[in-house]
Chain A
Amino acid sequence: SYVLTQPPSVSVAPGETAGISCGGNSIGTKSVHWYQQKPGQAPVLVISYDDNRPSGVPDRFSGSNSGGTATLTISRVEAGDEADYYCQVWDFGSDHYVFGTGTRVTVL
């Protein structure tokens, strides 16, 4: 089955830039979506189709997918960005949605 691997945690100071990686076999051939989940809340889509921001998502959030890794970048990090982040793809080979292992972002 298809597996997406993320670092368990990322720590970043306010105002700095956080990068969260998402690795998977031939991930560059897939469309990657990213979700933010704060404690006690449902996930929220923050990036779709590798690098598209849904309406209402701050432009501090950006995405890329190249070189065998997808990346979510949060610029000018704020305390309110502290959350768990998950990448996700649709695997056409198995007809399954696959979520990454999740990354907890801590704002120092």
Chain B
Amino acid sequence: EVQLLESGGDSLQSGGSLRLSCAASGFRLSTYVMNWVRQAPGKGLEWVSGISGRGGTTYYADSVKGRFTISRDDSKNTLYLHMNDLRGEDTALYYCAKTRSYSFDYGLDVWGQGTTVTVS
């Protein structure tokens, strides 16, 4: 069964750093585009960052560029989001999501249950 399991969420103060993890099972993470999507309390979905399956090209939302870094460890089949200089507006439920293919122009067909980040 294809699954994604996020971890690493925490409550911390503004300016702090955190690393989120997303463990994949049932598929090879390096074959697909992988993403982080967040949802602030009571708000809509916001794409945060994505990494391509081939070559590992990375992209970021303007709101996090320069502060967040997406990476993956293919040997552990795990996706990461390194977050620095956290702000109150980063408070959200962070989802890991798999794209249906190696290209970004596909829908996100598998999602984790999310991990919560609270910045005060």
- Which residue from chain B places its CB closest to the CB of A52 in the assembled complex? B107
Interface residues of B in 29-50 (CB under 8 A from A): 35, 37, 44-47, 50
Cα A31 to Cα B109 with chains together (Å): 15
Cα A47 to Cα B104 with chains together (Å): 16
Interface string of A82-98 (1 = CB under 8 A from B): 00101010101001111
Contact B105 A90 (CB under 8 A): yes
**Interface size of A in residues (CB-CB distance below 8 Å):** 26
Total contacts A-B at CB 8 Å = 65
| Contact residues in A for B35 (Cβ distance below 8 Å) | 97
Does A68 make an interface contact (CB < 8 A)?
Answer: no
Contact B107 A88 (CB under 8 A): yes
Interface residues of B in 62-97 (CB under 8 A from A): 62, 95, 97
User: Which residues of B approach A to under 8 Å, CB–CB?
Assistant: 35, 37, 44-47, 50, 59, 61-62, 95, 97, 100, 104-109, 111-114
User: Which residues of A approach B to under 8 Å, CB–CB?
Assistant: 1, 31, 33, 35, 37, 42-45, 47-49, 54, 84, 86, 88, 90, 92, 95-102
